Every structure is written in C-alpha cells, then in structure tokens.
Homo-oligomer: A and B are copies of this chain.
Amino acid sequence: MTALPVKNIFASTAAAGGGERFLTLFENPAVKIERIVSNSHSSPPDFWYDQAEDEWVIVLRGGAVLELDGGAPVELKAGDYVTIPGHVKHRVRQTGPETVWLAVHAKQ
C-alpha cells in the first residue's frame, strides 16, 4: 500500500533573530527544492549570490526586496515569483518578519 507523507510548508516557521533558515524539501540529480524562512533578514553588505544554476523563487508569506547587481531593486510580496538566471548576481536587501520562500534550483 502506497502512502505518501504530507507536510506543510508553514510548519515551524518561527525563527529567532534576523537570520535565514534553509530546509530541503526535495532533491534529486535534476533539481533541489528548498524552503527558506527569512526573519527581517538582509544579506551581508557587499555579499552577492552568484550561482551557476537558474533559480526560481516565490514568496509564499511575508515580503522581500531583492537587489540585482547593476539592476533596480525587485520588490516581492506573497505570491510573487521570479526567475533568477544563472550568474545573475543578487542579494537580499531586506525581508519582513517570518518571510517564507520556496526556491527551486535547476541543476542544469
């Protein structure tokens, strides 16, 4: 008998302080799906994510502002999604409290 475990993405989202918590929800050789809980978080000054892979992100709760290297800030509220192509440098300027993201990393 097949039984699939069901979990909820909004479970245990409380986070102390101004940090980020990462939880891998699914991973295989092609793709990694992770939940990110950001609590009034900013990337360190002058820190930039620079990833080879395309990343697709959606804000499911809360809100955030992304910065792109050389680009205008990108405001994201709940339900907003964006594709960040590989090697587009980006950082998190600011998030609201208990902001829940879903990030899909395409490994190709």
Bound CA span A91–B102, Å: 25
Query: Which of A14-22, A28-36, A41-49 lies on the face that meets chain B?
Result: A28-36
Q: Is A7 touching B81 in the complex (CB atoms < 8 A)?
A: yes
Q: Across the interface, do B3 and A71 meet the contact criterion of CB distance under 8 Å?
A: yes
A interface, size bucket: 35 or more
Q: Are B102 and A58 in contact (CB under 8 A)?
A: yes
Q: Mark A61-102, 1 if CB is under 8 A from B, else 0.
A: 000000011111011110111111000100000000000001
Q: Considering the complex, give the chain B residue whose CB is closest to the CB of A86.
A: B28
**Residues on the B chain within 8 Å of A82, using CB:** 4-7
Residues of B within 8 A of A102 (CB): 58, 102
Chain B residue with Cβ nearest A13: B79
A72 touches B6 (CB 8 A): no
A81 and B9 within 8 A (CB)? yes
- A47 CA to B2 CA in the complex, in Å? 18
Mark A residues whose CB is within 8 Å of B.
Answer: 1-11, 25-26, 28-31, 33, 54, 56, 58, 60, 68-72, 74-77, 79-84, 88, 102, 104, 106-108
